[in-house]
Amino acid sequence: MGGLSSTESRVDRRALVSEVLGAMPEALVVTGLGAPTYDAFAAGDRDLTFYLWGAMGGATPIGLGLALAQPDRSVIVLTGDGEQLMGIGSLASVAAQQPPNLTIVVLDNGHFGETGMQPSHTSLGTDLAATAKGLGIADSFKLTSLADVDAVVHRIKARAGTAFIHALIRADDPPKAMPARDGVYVKNRFRAALGFGPF
């Protein structure tokens, strides 16, 4: 299995994110920097979404910690191929822990969208689903159609095992939808939604 092929089907990123998050309003969501954050905000701002600003590579390890700390809640990490490539070692940590309530959704357009759309490693042969599976996340697969969203939502709701969804998306550039860039506000809002006070 190689990286992205020009013949593989790809989905609209905003439609995918909107469908997944719309079906899981009670899930805890961690977004990677840039476009995944814009996509999540465009789908509807939620107190249970923790937006990252500038912490490239941090979405998956933060999601892992959250899943371990909140075992009775479904946790979704929504990130991009560039960020997941930067933090590829975090997938080994996820595989070692195997939290049953964690689902990682990587939106892969094959490019580094935030720095000028240079081709990312997935355009050059890296297969993220195969990588995740090789590191020990058995439930790792590619998503190439919105028809597969129901299977993703089922996994998130079931909390029956860690899942890694390698979503192939079109390399387009929808308008930016910008949530608050105040990290303290986002953190305190998220904690309050979980029943904790400011820290």
pLDDT in tens, 85-131: 889 999 999 999 999 999 999 998 875 656 655 667 666 678 999 99
* Per-residue tokens: 52: 């990252």
- Number of separate domains in the chain: 1
- The CATH number for 94's domain is 3.40.50.970
- Residue ranges of alpha helices (H) inside 70-179 are 81-86, 90-97, 128-135, 149-158
Would you state the pLDDT for residue 170? 84
The amino acid present at 154, given as its one-letter code, is H
Would you state the pLDDT for residue 4? 47
Q: What is the mean pLDDT of the chain?
A: 89
Q: What is the CA radius of gyration of the chain?
A: 15
Residue 198 in domain:
no
Cβ(100)–Cβ(162) under 8 Å? yes
Instruction: Tell me the C-alpha distance between 186 and 178, whole Å.
Output: 13
Q: Is the pLDDT of residue 25 over 50?
A: yes
Residue 70 in domain:
yes
- Residue ranges of alpha helices (H) inside 30-148 are 35-42, 59-69, 81-86, 90-97, 128-135
Residue 34 confidence class, pLDDT cut points 50, 70, 90: confident
Would you state the pLDDT for residue 1? 40
Q: What average pLDDT does the segment 60-67 reach?
A: 98
Residue 5 in domain:
no
Q: Is the pLDDT of residue 167 over 70?
A: yes
Would you mind telling me the total number of residues written for the chain in this entry?
199
Q: Is the pLDDT of residue 3 over 90?
A: no
Residue 21 in domain:
yes
Q: Is 147 strand, coil or helix? A: helix
Would you state the pLDDT for residue 110? 73
Residue 4 in domain:
no
Q: Is the pLDDT of residue 157 over 70?
A: yes
Instruction: Tell me the C-alpha distance between 44 and 40, whole Å.
Output: 7
Q: How far is CA 94 from CA 30, 60, 89, 99, in A?
A: 15, 8, 9, 7
Residue 68, Ramachandran bin (φ over 0: left; ψ between -120 and 50: alpha; else beta): alpha
Would you state the pLDDT for residue 121? 60
What range does the domain containing 80 cover? 13-193
